[in-house]
A = this chain, B = another copy of it.
Amino acid sequence: MGGAMKRSGTRPAMTVADLEAFLAEAFPQAAPMRLAIEHVDARTIRLAMPTGEEHLRPGGTVAGPTLMALADCAIYLLILAQTGPKALTVTTNFGINFLRKPEPGRLVAEGRLLKLGKRLAVGDVLLFTPPAEEPVAHATVTYSIPPVGDRGR
């Protein structure tokens, strides 16, 4: 199913290296996530992160908030890749369905941009724990894009 997300050949405003530099600078507290930005284009993004003991809950499942944080991050970076660095872009709505037990090891997020408006941007994300092929969760995320000098909600 992961392969069903059509990539775009168009070059976005920020490359993977640009996004990594932005993250390191603006979100130093995200460093422990050890995010890898594997791909970004004008419509899709692919992130991965290792999951270990600290992300687990009883039953050996990766905790819901870890999945939520990665999905949120995927759409945030996908939007920034298009608009350029706007740290004050804020999530206004986030929804997620947990579909299957996520196995620890490696968590992958495949994000897709559904709308990039002047004020709101919307995307959805499938989360996987390879090698399992079926998604472990599906999230939709809305971001508010602030006009200059505005907080954006």
Contacts and interface: CB of A to CB of B under 8 A. Distances in A.
Contacts of A54: 29
Contacts of A58: 26-27, 87-88
Give the oligomeric copy count: 4
A39 interface: no
B115 A100 contact: yes
Given A27-B57, A65-B65, A124 B138 contact: yes
B153 A135 contact: no
Given A3-B6, A65-B65, A93-B142, A98 B153 contact: yes
* Centre residue among A57, A92, A93 by max chain B CB count within 10 A: A92
Interface string A25-59: 01101000000000000000000000001101111
Given A3-B6, A5-B4, A122 B101 contact: no
A11 interface: no
A105 interface: no
B101 A92 contact: no
A140 B93 CA distance: 11
